[in-house]
Structure 1
Amino acid sequence: MKILVIGSTGTIGKEIYKSLQQHHEVYGAHRNSSSFPVDISNKESIESLFNKLPKLDAVINASGTASWKSLSDLKEEDYYIGIKSKLMGQVNLVHVAKNHLNDYGSITLTTGILAEHYEPNAVALSLVNGAIHSYVNTASKELDRGIRLNTVAPGAISSDFPKDKKFAGYFPVDIKDVVKIYEYSLTTNNTGQILKIY
């Protein structure tokens, strides 16, 4: 398979990239890449990336950011950071990627535990994650050529977070187990799935 991993130097993305490279032709893209730079908050940047690549079988996005502030400190512009990056960045990615995928290709987005579970200062990110879940549920039904759309929703990653401390009510998860969920998303026939691991 020809697979694009966006966010290929991040905590999750770099492990996905490493694992998939063993059996597939994998392209790694990230903001500071010299070969495949991309800023998902900019649709033209996404289009420029895909124009450099061959037709793909799968796209995985493991990038996107949002504000971390308490509700009382959040201003309108703080919400727009996550809306422009993790929400519309992933929405625009779907719109662009679907035209560059082979029939029956796969798009996998990334959300997280905060779509459903509370953690202090995470209101803006929870908003975005929940919106992506709704988007995946509905947009997946309107993609043609058998293209599938799913999202992985991990908890905190144990390499980034103390193993004995809960995040949003759950202990951290092992990155190897998280990577397996992304790999499952590539091979399952299901679409519109929220693949939770926490």
Structure 2
Amino acid sequence: MSEIIIAPFSHNALRDWPAGQFKALTELLLRQISLHMSIAVVGTRSQRIAAAEIVRPFPVRRVSNACGLPWETVLHKLRGAACVIGNNSGITHVSSYFGVPTVCVFGGSHQRTEWGALGPTTVILSRVIGCSPCQLNHIRDCPYNAACLHEIEPGEVASAALRVMGRSDQHENAADRQKTGSLEKTVAQC
């Protein structure tokens, strides 16, 4: 069964698209993807409860809470994913590196052209508003409650994911999807 990976956590609330948006995105994707596809929400063990808020309304055979998996297992899931959707986080950077179709929901705290995930099958969705890039580090410091993230709609993200999955056939390189070099070794040593 082909799988879409959703990575809703970045370890910084200022970079995290709201959980309710990820839940709405999941619902939209389930209506538009094949019944042979599933969705897995990934994160750390400590993020498992927050992920449950996203996956709870959906059938377990279609949407799973995969938080707390060992890093090697997450890397394996990323390599084999039909698409990865997440915030500006390590997961989206790794999936882009692997050449996996990736949609990165990017807040306005940092410059997307400098810090965004890169790759021929990667799409960055962001809103440039008057205060971005703000260079803030904490959501409590944002006087606009991260409006740059809240203005990105689930339908936009779902459309981007469907487009990038369709485009991936043109760019897919089996060797790139099997990269196991220095990235995994470096991350494993941390």
The alignment's TM-score, normalised by the length of structure 1, stands at 0.45
Query: Which structure would you say has the larger RCO, counting Cα contacts within 8 Å and 6 or more residues apart?
Result: 2
Structure-2-length-normalised TM-score: 0.46
